Amino acid sequence: MKVGVLALQGAVEPHAEALRDLGAAPAPVRTPAQLADVDALVVPGGESTTMSKLLDTSGLAGPLSDRLASGMPAFGTCAGMIVLAREVLDGRADQRSYGAIDIAVRRNAFGRQVDSFEAELDVAGLEDSFHGVFIRAPFVEAVGPHVEVLAAVDGHPVLCRSGPVLVAAFHPELTPDRRVHRLFLEAGA
């Protein structure tokens, strides 16, 4: 199973390490040819507005839309969650999102005073809590009927799944716990 990690910007290597730990073969994706060569894709954290621009300039925007529309498994964390969402609130007018999962996401939703925080999350399907690292994190404001909410903070969804697409507002790649990456690999990748 070849799992791509979108490597235009952001926290790429920690995801590659998590995937390697689970026996998947990670490959960086910067070009349409590299995207065509992977079975699934991780969209990392970073800055969603910058990532949106780089997807356009790299020529990946069209091929990425096509692959997602045809059901490629994908896992987006933080900015990656924003990139995969149906709708972005508080985004830039020219910011593109790819509608791979039927959620509306608000950028920097936890507020500017609490830029970053950590929280113990109860995750549906996991026995013990998961340590969530949130960095200028979004949260989900609305979910469509086919979206499962797997974890929430103060009532706001922060981990959602819809078929082979998983999105997290936090950064599971920054802790040694691989259980959320495993959920992604089990869901279809």
Residues binding ligand GLN: what is the number (CB under 6 A)? 11
Question: Does position 12 bind ligand GLN by CB under 6 A?
Answer: no
Active site residues: 78, 171, 173
In angstroms and rounded to an integer, the radius of gyration of the C-alpha atoms of the chain is 15
Minimal CA–CA distance to 35: which of 77, 79, 70, 78?
70
Q: Could you tell me the smallest distance in angstroms from the CB atom of residue 9 to ligand GLN?
A: 10
Question: Does position 78 bind ligand GLN by CB under 6 A?
Answer: yes
Identify how many contiguous H helices and E strands the chain contains and give both numbers: 6, 12
Question: Does position 82 bind ligand GLN by CB under 6 A?
Answer: yes
Report the site for ligand GLN in 34-63 (rule: CB under 6 A).
45-48
- Which of the stretches 26-34, 59-67, 75-83, 143-151 binds ligand GLN when contact is defined by CB under 6 A? 75-83
Q: What backbone phi and psi angles, to 5 degrees, belong to 164? A: -85, 10
The tokens for 138 are: 């979004």
Sheet of 85-89: strand order equals 85-89, 101-106, 139-143
Report the site for ligand GLN in 118-137 (rule: CB under 6 A).
135-136
Among 53, 67, 107, 161, indicate the residue that binds ligand GLN (CB under 6 A).
107
Cα–Cα distance measured from residue 127 to residue 123, given in angstroms and rounded to the nearest whole number: 8
The residues of the shown chain that bind ligand GLN, judged by CB under 6 A, are 45-48, 78-79, 82, 107-108, 135-136
